[in-house]
Amino acid sequence: MRDFNGKTIIITGASSGIGEGLSHKLAACGANLILLARSGDKLKKLQTILEKEHTINCKYYTVDLSDRKAWKETLIKIEEEHPTIDAIINNAGFGVFDTVQEADYQDIEKMFQVNVLALMEGVQSLLPHFVSKKQGHIINVASFAGKIATPKSSAYSASKHAVIGFSNALRLEVENKGIFVTTVNLGPVRTNFFQVADPSGNYQKSVDQFMLEPEVVVDQIIKALFRRKREINLPRWMELGSRFYHLFPWLSERLLRKQFNKK
């Protein structure tokens, strides 16, 4: 088990799934935590458990990242109340699977606000702090959807393309300032993500055998934390598929058309 004693780490989307798993594992490693999510009740319960089981400080902030004003106010509060922050794990995000023609534009706007703009604003807010300390780690949870676009995921894929592009540019800007930037590109993970993205459950059933368990993702993120790791790509076979896709996009779309249309 790694030792993060004395480190303070922000986790967005901390109330369930990968974020909740990270909270438990990081607390066990001695990290002090700043947890963010929409559900105050879940965060309060999680805080109580973590502080009871581990000798750490755990604070939480209830905020909906789709509400820019509330998010900005929360960032100001975090900066005022926590003079030392060592890392942020931008895990919050959601998707809605639909065709371009049938998509609700409000869903598209909300996806970009939560998946992209809130992430960027959080990073921009914390960056001066990291630069002044000459250390820090920014971990942005993206998706293989940001590398391989498929039908019914146009807006979601675009949002994750944006996260990857932002992260890649940021990494080059801060690489000589002691700051690490890591993107986490995932295939389907067994979380409540699909309750919103796929209410019918059809897509989830079609990929059930390929789904990652949240614990696998959590372990890899913790392994990479405070180390110079450009990307985490899970599962491995999807990373290989992504490389093939970028080398032979036309051929990939022809060969994988059936798989691409599983949503």
User: Which is it for strands 231-234 and 58-62: parallel, antiparallel or unpaired?
Assistant: unpaired
Q: Could you give the CA distance from residue 34 to residue 204 in angstroms, rounded to a whole number?
A: 31
User: Torsion angle, CA of 88/221/168/116, rounded to 10 degrees?
Assistant: -50
Q: Could you give the CA distance from residue 139 to residue 229 in angstroms, rounded to a whole number?
A: 10
Helix (H/G/I), strand (E/B), else coil: 197: helix
- Choose among 137, 208, 205: nearest CA to 174: 137
Contact, 41 vs 121, CB < 8 A?
no
Does residue 156 carry a catalytic annotation?
yes
Q: CA angle, 94 as apex, 182 and 215 as ends, to 5°? A: 55
Candidates 60, 61, 156, 245; catalytic one: 156
Helix/strand/coil (H/E/C) assignment for every residue in 119-187: HHHHHHHHHHHHHHHCCEEEEEECCHHHCCCCCCEHHHHHHHHHHHHHHHHHHHHHCCCCEEEEEEEEC
Q: How far apart, in Å, are the Cα atoms of 58 and each of 49, 55, 161, 166, 259?
A: 10, 10, 32, 29, 43
Which are the catalytic amino acids?
Answer: 156
